[in-house]
A and B are shown apart, each in its own frame.
Chain A
Amino acid sequence: MYQFNYARPKTLAEAEALLAKADDPKLLAGGQTLIPTLKQRLAMPSDLIDIGGLKELDFIRAEGDAVMIGAGAKHATVAQSPDVKKHNPALAALAEGIGDPAVRHMGTIGGSIANNDPAADYPAACLALDAKIHTSKRLIEADQFFKGMFETALEDGEIVKEITFPHPEKAAYMKFPNPASRYAMVGVFVSKGPWGVRVAVTGAGQNGVFRVKEMEDALTKSWSPDAVAGVKVPAKGLNADLHGTAEYRAHLITVMAKRAVAAAG
């Protein structure tokens, strides 16, 4: 690991001030992606600003027709939260399927979406559930947040504070994990709610998470696994690597979408 300065601010305001002052800073939340990245010397930040222990970011509460999750909430906490389980069981199940137990004890939802790994699980949930992402500066709709591989709408010095998930009527996430890394080869989140029907795909796209409009239209007409069975996603723009071709991933999207609709009931 290269050298860096380390700071552990006590408040979000202090974290913002430190971010503004540092030369090439990185926020450290749970560190389950960042620390392994630093170990491989794939990043060389001047400063690590550790917001992992900020109490003001670590909360989950249900209010009105939504669940608010603090950016610092750990995957294990989301998975076990009575509020999330009650109002959004698909989201709790997704959190329970991230990485492994030790990773879920450290990794945070804010860190996951700010990193926007093209095979991460949470971006699919945010996009499919019409989530609102509250930052230290503004509110960003999930549709506007995920910009591409490891790219988001976040600006320099902007910190994710809270993700608001409106309650879905029906929802489910189905992941086909890579057998070695357990990252999604393809993961499909389907939902039905006040926003209509949404289908979001992670793991497959070269530019990260994306929605499949043809599947959303088909499910709007008829919410059933058969409705998506005939929808083929083009292989163009999908990842191809030693784990699978773009055509294989395209095929998996339809299979996972069918399973997700069946699971959502």
Chain B
Amino acid sequence: MPVVAMTVNGKPASADVEARTLLVHYIREQLGLTGTHVGCDTSQCGACVVHVDGRAVKSCAILAVQAEGAEIVTVEGLAKNGELHPVQQAFREHHGLQCGFCTPGMIMTAVDLIRRKPNLDEKTVREELEGNICRCTGYHNIVKAILAASQEMR
């Protein structure tokens, strides 16, 4: 079996994996980081979004071996010294969740979005959430939380 080595949330991680192992399964099952969710089997829902070398990627649409040598950040890696990331804080304050299943992916997508487009408006946020599905249809507060976080982080 191939050995993959990568950095996950700032720490080195390496393990034997089958070539067919998806990054999301490696993260959840071998590293035990279950904050990243699997919401669909078709790479459409975005619950599994993580950052690979600083860019939001669906971890169910990339093999673990493809991430060899990469820097991975999962939702567990956002809070620093016990303080929530401003996007996490905004989701909490604006109740940007209902059941919470899509939340890790929403937050990772939002962090990437605010990095790419610091001056957000509502239309842009809604367009950029194209690849993240909230089955509760709770988009209103998710959009509100992202806009608030982008203000906060300016």
Interface residues of A (CB under 8 A from B): 1-6, 8, 28, 31-32, 35-36, 38-40, 48, 50, 52, 76, 99-103, 105-106, 181-182
Contacts and interface: CB of A to CB of B under 8 A. Distances in A.
- Give the 3 A-B CB pairs with smallest separation, nearest first: A100-B131, A6-B19, A100-B130
29 contacts: A2-B20, A3-B18, A3-B19, A6-B19, A32-B43, A32-B61, A35-B61, A35-B62, A35-B63, A36-B42, A38-B20, A39-B41, A39-B42, A39-B60, A40-B41, A100-B130, A100-B132, A101-B56, A101-B112, A101-B113, A102-B57, A102-B58, A103-B61, A103-B131, A105-B56, A105-B57, A106-B61, A181-B44, A182-B130
Contact of A5 (B19, B43, B55, B63): B19
B76 to A, nearest CB: 19
B65 A8 contact: yes
A28 B46 contact: no
Nearest to A50: B66
Nearest to B56: A102
A99 B131 contact: yes
B2 interface: yes
A35 B43 contact: yes
A247 to B, nearest CB: 29
Interface string B126-140: 001011100000000
Contact of B57 (A8, A50, A106): A106
Given A2-B20, A105-B57, A100 B46 contact: yes
A102 B46 contact: yes
A102 B22 CA distance: 16
Given A31-B62, A102-B57, A4 B46 contact: no
B150 interface: no
A99 B131 CA distance: 8
Contacts of A48: 19, 63
Nearest to A100: B131
Nearest to B132: A100
Interface string B89-126: 00000000000000000000100110000000000000
B68 interface: yes
Given A6-B2, A39-B60, 16 more contacts: A4-B20, A31-B61, A31-B66, A32-B43, A39-B43, A40-B41, A48-B19, A76-B55, A99-B130, A100-B46, A101-B109, A101-B128, A101-B131, A102-B57, A102-B131, A105-B56
